[in-house]
Amino acid sequence: MPVQHDIPGPGDLRDDTTAGRVLIGSLMRAQLGLSLLCLMLALAVTVSFPLVAALVPAVGRTRVAGLPLTLIVLGFAFYPVFMAVGWFYHRQARQLEVRFTDLVDPPGRGGCDATGPHA
């Protein structure tokens, strides 16, 4: 069977060809975009509550169980949000990797798998 050289594959990544560099560059741009999105989400959540507390003084004076509401929110409520952002990042990064792998080495193409090249 003749080898098709016009379809990028694992060899392009291994041999550092132009097509391989383009594929890796697109994966890195997608990962950077995802990282920046998650950073913006985390910053928006982190900045929003202190901003609300500063703009609405009643929030800063509110006490729950003798503790200021701002202390409770800053000390405890952000962790579940950060966990959710981390979960979202992990899930999306995994999907990016799966799509990249499927693009470079589609399942029906007979390329490489986790154990190495097929015989």
pTM of the model: 0.69
At 23 the pLDDT is 82
Please report the pLDDT score of residue 35 as a whole number. 96
User: pLDDT, tens digit, for every residue of 26-75?
Assistant: 889 999 999 999 999 999 988 888 888 889 888 888 898 898 888 888 88
Closest listed residue to residue 34, CA positions, set 106, 102, 99, 103: 99
pLDDT at 116: 47
CA atoms of 10 and 19, how far apart (whole Å)? 10
63: Cβ–Cβ under 8 A, 6 or more apart, which residues?
69
